[in-house]
Structure 1
Amino acid sequence: MAKNISMFKRAIALSIAAAFFTHCSTEAPPVDRSTLTEAQKRLPEYAVSGLEVADGLEATLFAAEPMIMNPTNIDVDPRGRVWVCEAFNYRSELNPGNEVDAKGDKIVILEDTDGDGKADSRKIFYQGTDINAALGIGVFGNKVIVSCSPNVFIFTDEDGDDVPDKKEVLFTGLGGVQHDHAIHSFTFGPDGKFYFNFGNAGDQLLDKDGNPIVDMVGNEVNGSGNPYRQGMLFRCDTDGSNMEVLGFNFRNNYEPAVDSYGSIWQSDNDDDGNRGVRINFILEYGNYGFTDEFTGASWSTRRTNMEKEIPLRHWHQNDPGSVPNLLQTGAGSPTGMIVYEGDLLPERFRNQMIHTDAGPNVVRAYPVEKKGAGYTASIVNILKGNDDPWFRPSDVCVAPDGSLFVADWYDPGVGGHQMGDQAQGRIYRVAPKGVDYEVEKINVTGAEAAVKSLQSPNMGTRYLAWTALEAMGSEAEAALKGLLNSSNPRMKARALWLLARIDGKTDEYIQLATSDADENIRITGLKIARSLQVKNLDDYLAKAASDKSPQVRREVAIAVRYLDSSKAADIWTDLALQYDGKDRWYLEALGIGADPRGEEFFNNWIEKGGLEKPGANDIVWRSRAKSALPILAKLATNAEGSMHDNLRYFRAFDFHKDPSKDNLLAGMLTIKHPQQDSIKILALSHISPEKINSDPAVNKIMRGSLAQMKGTPTYMDWVKRYQLRDQVPSLVSIYTQSPKSEFGPEAIKLVHQFEGIDFFKKQLQQKDNEKVIETLNAMTNLWGPEVWNTFKEISLDESRDLAVRKAAIKAYGTGWSTENNLLDMALANEVPEELKETAMYTLLNGIKSSVRKEAAKMLAAGDTKFGSIEELVALDGSATNGAAMFERVCSTCHVVNNKGTQFGPQLSEIGDKLGKEGLYKAIMYPDAGISFGYEGFLITTAAGEKIAGYISSETNDALEVTVIGGAKTRYTKKDIVSKEPLENSLMPTGLHNAFTQQELVDLVAYLSSLKNGAPVAAR
């Protein structure tokens, strides 16, 4: 539970904070934490003792409560001060037990004024409700950029008194208020531009006046699929102009990191529980595969050549046009990231990404190694909250001295918009042992001094130096040239970005860079040429197209995408002819470069012998050119190819829009092939509905193949599309044998559509009670008074078997439209005694919070029988018994290790994400922490049907809704009247009241044991 403190107490606490940090040691001596109570473990003086720190480093506590609370994002300015977004009011509407500061959240500045390594000064830079739960802060000279969905603010402190003199809106329209999946923080690149991103709730980018932003290639920046979707990555000038979308189709990409060469890195999180958190190296302008690139369908939607492993399936890694992931790190809640380009930390951390992941309580580095045109990466921990599951690192920054500062949200849980603790939060400094925190005064008034500052590992210092040197122009040339002989190539790169901006010197320094022996500097030279939009860019690219380094050629391929030159096709063809058929990074770079002019580039490649090269088939697979289609058809039906290859090529047809593909696919229906039936079915699955409806011969073949497809999703698609009423017997078999399968609900709805309620009334007259119960259970997917009245009549029919009546009363109370009817029956004492227990359990699992609460009252059971969460945490439970509880109750909505029903989030590694406190809160108060992507909606159709569930997939013309129990149903958008968000969680409130205290404790013991790498036997 939140350990709230009143505003009065908080004010008093803050007044003694400086004294606390000045006179009290916050570093705990070696201590056996097993001797501490849970409350003691949470105290600041024991904070560091709960962390595992990498060899050669030590963590010290720079600031903690009451000086700082709930830091979401930080930055360190050139003076070494830590700027903090303090989110006291985080999601207050979803955390009703928490206090609210009516004045709003704060941006605070923490400073160590006496040099002892601990903050002793706290200033409030700004406070307001407009920055409640801000998720990003960047300090750039006298400007401070604060990202707080739906706005990005620029605060300007013109007189340097740490109080803003001006507040402006840079961008707006970014998702809902306080949304975690919307706008994140800004960083400054070596090219003098801002880089930032938003997650898949960002939706759009509007200017300060609310007008749509149009990017440099003429596209409105929004997630409509024209062409961008989901989360996006951006680059723009510091005034917000010249916007570029550098990547799209992320889920919740959080804080980009840009290195001195101009390479971009970032993290992205999966749908909760799917072990698919990833790290991305950015191929600019690429699609990153969270949803189907063309249709927007969910990653879980069945498709040809679907990946076997969910972490890969999650990102459409088998699809042409999905950029490969650099690294997948399992379950987590990734947040802040930097590229560490300092020299204070040990060698293994230098020039590497450093990243905070609040879910598994860890700060990591990801050392990379080059592989072809891309990279591989490994994981090295820096800080790990092994003995403190409340450690929730939310951001990491580099101080001017090269040390790290880590923000710790400090909470029993993370994500889902919940906050279990308002009163605590920490900032750590990480550095080699014994290294004090010392910050030199910055000086950028002269070229030599500014060049020295340009080499700082601190972003704010580099920003000031870069801005000063750029303004100096040619006066800074001599000092900058001194860096060209640096033993550190990253410093050389920083100098080249600025030298090339000097009037009359652009070509000189680009030529110098692109001729360098270091491939990273050659890449930098190409990026500089693109950034400055030099007129002779094609000459640089043509030369670099034969570079021995595939990494350099990767950059050429991307640069060709928007190259306005008659040489573009030849440059791309030269690159494509060098593809070896083994490097997916290289292949996707080629695809990105070719997409806008695919036909021209592809035909040029064919004319120059491309089809004779080893990697030709991959280039055909990735191409979107119309002229690639006939070749793709041959590859898809190659008798010597494997079925795996056939699936791959058939999937590629989905990424072509030219209607000529239908005739090619239709031609496959009658070819002779060793796997002719499989080829036929695949072809029929990819031909457009228009072709099948308009071509009698194709339609006949489809009907002839239908029998082979019974019981499959393909069968359901065909029956639904062509209204095949003669398939009712097969549909009945599907919904009775697999009522909770992905197509069971569709089957019964089709039967109802074809035959009406009389068909089911006849089914319910059977003497076989098990079959009657199967029919009742399946009918819960139907809608309408006739259906509900049938349930009620059977439940009250005393001549029926009791098991049948229980199934009927449960069916009557299942669903948005009928659960209130059952509640009314119960309140009026009209439920027969023998059915009351079933009715109450059904209502406890209801959709509406009001229904669940009334049911809990009637059970006369409350939370008091369990005691406080603190008391529960202190109790020992049996994980073995808890596993049985999970299987009996929770597995109807959750999956652990591939067992259970996929309705709510997967829980296979929930013990890494939530401590016991967080688990108890999630079970007992589910409304307080709804995972993103599992928010409930009430869908109303034109026929009046109301369906409550979460939207598991959405395309341009349809919604897929998953209801309690895991059943999925697809609705066309034209049939949907409204889509209203539900205020409460779809997980039943009060469900825990059906447990004894020990059963609840056992369940939490089991869930706590579910961690990455935990042995199955322990579960």
Structure 2
Amino acid sequence: VVPNLLQTMWGSPTGMAIYEGRLLPERYQDEMVHCDAGPRVVRAYPVKPDGGGYEASIENIVQGNDTWFRPADVCVAPDGSLLVADWYDPGVGGHAMGDHDPSHIRGRIYRIAPKGENWTVPEFDLSTAQSCVETLKSPNMARRYLAWTALHEMKRKAEKPLRKLWRDDNPRYRARALHLLARLKKRGWDYIEEALHDENPDIRIAGLKIVEEERLDPIPFVKMVLDDDSPRVRAEAAIALRHNDSEKAPYYWADLAALHTGKDRWYLESLGIGADGQWDRFFPAWLARVGKGWDTPAGHDIVWRARGEQVPVYLVEILKQTGESYENSARYLRALQFQPEKERNEALVALLEETKKHIGESNGWGRIGVDLVTMFQPSPYSDEQLTDDLGRWLAKAAEGTPQLVGVVETFGLSDLNPMLLDYAIQTSEGQYVASALLPLVLEKDQTTLMTALESEDVTRAVKVVGALGHVENEAAISLLSSIVASTTWATPIRSAALVGLIHTQKGAEEILELAKSGDLPSEFTNLAAIKLNSVPGNWREIREEASNVLPLPSNAEGEVFPAFGELSQMTGDAGHGHEVFKQICMVCHRVKGEGVEFGPDLSNVGGKLGKDALYENILNPNSAISFGYEPITVVLGDEYEEYGFPVEENDQEIVLKVQNGETIRIPKKDIQEIRHEKLSAMPVGLEKGMTTQDFVDL
């Protein structure tokens, strides 16, 4: 994966331009300028070299306090000023416009320039080659395009003034001239070669990029820069070799790889891109080139990034050296997942045998062994290799992690089920809770569960029933239902059991049946009503039935909510709003790590949306569906279907995020139909369970 230049965190990135004018202060010159409509800011990202790549910082140019300010695009005017388009709206994302009355839609274009620099429109001329070259210097992209196109059509007639620009002191002007000169017939190669010998590494990089863009044979050009003193130039040379099938390509790549320092992630990834699809040619050439140099920090980096038949053996050798430290070993274990299956499995078996030599040690080998038996499926190991003493040692190493489930299951260690229960009630990740508790639910007489539930520790029992709600299994649902209905259990345990049931569709249906039969205890009627009337997505039938059987309690005022403008002027209590969130919203959303990761994380939504947009999104969730949260229903046959958000898809399967924030993998061979839902997964009517003050506090 190519490193990120900069992490800007949450936002709604929109327009971007490269500012190549000279009107604005120097810190913005020749840098990226970017609009982020979410936090309402226009920024520059000054960049400087960092090994084979770059690093960037942030320089804010404009930031608005008006929550409707939405900088959506930016361009550079001919006079060098910036023009920023302000969409002007209370919200972003999902195409829900709060400012939609056609009689007075608002918006504006801001001009950003130093004080006293009035707006001007410089004249330009495209009638001659020389005048086109002058226009090519414009900071305005549209003018540069017109000039470039005219010069390109002039061909050799434009060469003389372009050569003069090629000798300019400004590297930006030189690069623009080069891109035209390099495309001249018969003369283009000469200019590329000249560029590759230039003292400026950016010009050398530009020369290589032209080779790639024009799909020229890269071999003679890469040869010129094999020992270039700039890692950025060599990185570009490695990329130029991508998918090149010449005999020299592996050896040139090996020369470039031999110069990796072991401290340059950008350079390493450029090597990886260059070797893509040809590792079985390039990796052996590198081994021959470096000899014992493979066994150095820099060499280990290359092995980690490589993908090929010879690679697994070298990964195992590295792991033998790093095994005492899991932190130093994890990346090499992960790299094994990307290797050819046959060679990988042979290496895994050898590595497991090496791991068994360290049974009983309290170091990284235990965690390595855990990964070996849980990360790689189908398992390449025989039953004889998976010994009981190995399993118990690995279970201790996996305690408190999701991998404990896999270890207990792989080695059949049912006597360690109490460890699974401890893990299930400690973690907040629904999918791991479910996988940890399922063996306990299926356990004969549910001994482990009942011991925990019947103990005097009510707090622990509440956590157990809450965790059980993540297990979509008839036995778990039956147990929770019996707890809700029976007065022999403490009220906090029964309440937690009810909430747990509504985590799953079958559990929600069970609560409805209790309500219809009159067996739902009256003290839980309001809680059940709020939860059932806010279930997501394609549970609409449950919601509709709940509205009749368990109608939402009316709000205290029994009135329609005030207009957004009035609501926005009211003062809220954030502490009480937190309680409202936990009661109504937390079943699908998170704030600062608390809640379920099903719908969008709302931790920063207050800085992204104005109050009126927040109210609108709650009252009318179908008016705008956020990108990435368009729900689908996957029909699997026999009236069975799954509903959620698609997060990954390939030729074999679809990965779906479902209610509770879990992700499930659905083989495509099992899918009968995929329906793209038109309505949001967020239900309508949540406000009916709130007073006006609750709404404002939230």
* TM-score normalised over the length of structure 1: 0.60
The alpha carbon displacement at 1:586 in A equals: 1.0
Q: Take 2:676 and 2:498, find their aligned partners in 1: how far apart are those partners?
A: 27
Q: Take 1:765 and 1:908, find their aligned partners in 2: how far apart are those partners?
A: 35
In the other structure, the counterpart of 2:256 is 575
In the other structure, the counterpart of 1:439 is 121
Which among 605, 625, 646 is matched to residue 286 of structure 2? 605
The alpha carbon displacement at 1:433 in A equals: 2.4
Matching of residues 799-878 of structure 1 within 5 Å = 810=499, 815-817=504-506, 819=508, 833-847=522-536, 848=539, 852=543, 855=547, 858-861=552-555, 864-878=559-573
1:415 aligns with 2:93: yes
Would the alpha carbon gap of residues 491 and 918 (structure 1) be closer, same or farther in structure 2, given more than 3 Å must change? Answer: same
In the other structure, the counterpart of 1:591 is 272
Render the CA deviation track for 1:809-864: whole Å, top value 9, x for unaligned. 55665544564675687689886644321221222322245755773965344994
Q: Take 1:615 and 1:879, find their aligned partners in 2: how far apart are those partners?
A: 52
Render the CA deviation track for 1:738-778: whole Å, top value 9, x for unaligned. 585441112344556x569x869995997669588666545
In the other structure, the counterpart of 2:216 is 534
1:629 aligns with 2:324: no
Render the CA deviation track for 1:392-439: whole Å, top value 9, x for unaligned. 111111222222221112111112443222232222222222333332
1:470 aligns with 2:152: yes
Render the CA deviation track for 1:968-1018: whole Å, top value 9, x for unaligned. 555555555555444444445433433333333233xxxxxxxxxxxxxxx
In the other structure, the counterpart of 2:133 is 451
In the other structure, the counterpart of 1:318 is none
1:507 aligns with 2:155: no
Render the CA deviation track for 1:653-686: whole Å, top value 9, x for unaligned. 1221242122222222233456343333333344
In the other structure, the counterpart of 1:378 is 57
For the Cα contact (< 8 Å) 1:560–1:594, is it kept in 2? yes
Matching of residues 479-490 of structure 1 within 5 Å = 479-490=161-172
In the other structure, the counterpart of 2:231 is 550
Q: Take 2:462 and 2:49, find their aligned partners in 1: how far apart are those partners?
A: 60
Which among 578, 584, 602 is matched to residue 907 of structure 1? 602
1:397 aligns with 2:85: no
The alpha carbon displacement at 1:699 in A equals: 6.7
For the Cα contact (< 8 Å) 2:430–2:470, is it kept in 1? no
Which among 167, 180, 187 is matched to residue 498 of structure 1? 180
The alpha carbon displacement at 1:478 in A equals: 1.5
1:427 aligns with 2:427: no
Q: Which structure has more strand as a fraction of its residues?
A: 1
In the other structure, the counterpart of 2:24 is 345
1:519 aligns with 2:201: yes
What letter corresponds to residue 439 of structure 1 in structure 2?
A: V
In the other structure, the counterpart of 2:378 is 689
In the other structure, the counterpart of 2:346 is 663
Matching of residues 33-112 of structure 1 within 5 Å = none
For the Cα contact (< 8 Å) 1:817–1:946, is it kept in 2? no
For the Cα contact (< 8 Å) 1:665–1:684, is it kept in 2? no
Q: Take 1:799 and 1:346, find their aligned partners in 2: how far apart are those partners?
A: 75
1:362 aligns with 2:57: no
SS of structure 1 residue aligned to 2:339: coil
**Which 10-residue stretch deviates more, 844-853 or 624-633?**
844-853
In the other structure, the counterpart of 1:707 is 395
SS of structure 2 residue aligned to 1:375: strand
For the Cα contact (< 8 Å) 1:374–1:585, is it kept in 2? yes
Would the alpha carbon gap of residues 490 and 641 (structure 1) be closer, same or farther in structure 2, given more than 3 Å must change? Answer: farther
In the other structure, the counterpart of 1:323 is 2
What letter corresponds to residue 911 of structure 1 in structure 2?
A: G
Would the alpha carbon gap of residues 764 and 725 (structure 1) be closer, same or farther in structure 2, given more than 3 Å must change? Answer: closer
What letter corresponds to residue 553 of structure 2 in structure 1?
A: L
What letter corresponds to residue 392 of structure 1 in structure 2?
A: R
Q: Take 1:505 and 1:970, find their aligned partners in 2: how far apart are those partners?
A: 56
Q: Take 1:377 and 1:944, find their aligned partners in 2: how far apart are those partners?
A: 53
Q: Take 1:646 and 1:805, find their aligned partners in 2: how far apart are those partners?
A: 46
The alpha carbon displacement at 1:646 in A equals: 1.1
For the Cα contact (< 8 Å) 2:18–2:33, is it kept in 1? yes
In the other structure, the counterpart of 1:77 is none
How many pairs are equivalent?
Answer: 677
Q: Take 2:300 and 2:428, find their aligned partners in 1: how far apart are those partners?
A: 42
Would the alpha carbon gap of residues 419 and 760 (structure 1) be closer, same or farther in structure 2, given more than 3 Å must change? Answer: farther
Give the percent of matched residue pairs that are identical in Structure 1 and Structure 2: 38
The alpha carbon displacement at 1:559 in A equals: 0.6
**Which 10-residue stretch deviates more, 715-724 or 862-871?**
715-724
For the Cα contact (< 8 Å) 1:852–1:990, is it kept in 2? no
The alpha carbon displacement at 1:587 in A equals: 1.1
For the Cα contact (< 8 Å) 2:323–2:368, is it kept in 1? no
What letter corresponds to residue 220 of structure 2 in structure 1?
A: D
Aligned-pair RMSD on alpha carbons?
3.7
What letter corresponds to residue 606 of structure 1 in structure 2?
A: L
**Which 10-residue stretch deviates more, 977-986 or 476-485?**
977-986
Render the CA deviation track for 1:888-917: whole Å, top value 9, x for unaligned. 655554444444443433333333212222
For the Cα contact (< 8 Å) 1:681–1:705, is it kept in 2? no
SS of structure 2 residue aligned to 1:524: helix
The alpha carbon displacement at 1:502 in A equals: 1.6
SS of structure 1 residue aligned to 2:275: helix
For the Cα contact (< 8 Å) 2:323–2:329, is it kept in 1? no
For the Cα contact (< 8 Å) 1:849–1:984, is it kept in 2? no
The alpha carbon displacement at 1:518 in A equals: 1.4
For the Cα contact (< 8 Å) 1:852–1:989, is it kept in 2? no
Render the CA deviation track for 1:682-735: whole Å, top value 9, x for unaligned. 33344442412x563247676455533355322323556788877766656655
Render the CA deviation track for 1:488-508: whole Å, top value 9, x for unaligned. 111111111111222211122
Render the CA deviation track for 1:144-200: whole Å, top value 9, x for unaligned. xxxxxxxxxxxxxxxxxxxxxxxxxxxxxxxxxxxxxxxxxxxxxxxxxxxxxxxxx
Would the alpha carbon gap of residues 958 and 762 (structure 1) be closer, same or farther in structure 2, given more than 3 Å must change? Answer: same
For the Cα contact (< 8 Å) 2:568–2:612, is it kept in 1? yes
**Which 10-residue stretch deviates more, 390-399 or 819-828?**
819-828
The alpha carbon displacement at 1:543 in A equals: 1.4
**Which 10-residue stretch deviates more, 837-846 or 390-399?**
837-846
SS of structure 1 residue aligned to 2:153: helix
SS of structure 2 residue aligned to 1:365: strand
Would the alpha carbon gap of residues 975 and 718 (structure 1) be closer, same or farther in structure 2, given more than 3 Å must change? Answer: farther
Render the CA deviation track for 1:948-987: whole Å, top value 9, x for unaligned. 4445566665555554444555555555555544444444
Q: Take 2:635 and 2:388, find their aligned partners in 1: how far apart are those partners?
A: 36
What letter corresponds to residue 875 of structure 1 in structure 2?
A: M
Would the alpha carbon gap of residues 944 and 747 (structure 1) be closer, same or farther in structure 2, given more than 3 Å must change? Answer: farther
What letter corresponds to residue 338 of structure 1 in structure 2?
A: A
Q: Take 2:428 and 2:272, find their aligned partners in 1: how far apart are those partners?
A: 42
What letter corresponds to residue 411 of structure 1 in structure 2?
A: D
SS of structure 1 residue aligned to 2:43: strand
For the Cα contact (< 8 Å) 1:745–1:967, is it kept in 2? no
Q: Take 1:410 and 1:605, find their aligned partners in 2: how far apart are those partners?
A: 56
SS of structure 1 residue aligned to 2:600: coil
What letter corresponds to residue 587 of structure 1 in structure 2?
A: L
SS of structure 1 residue aligned to 2:274: helix
Q: Take 1:522 and 1:890, find their aligned partners in 2: how far apart are those partners?
A: 55
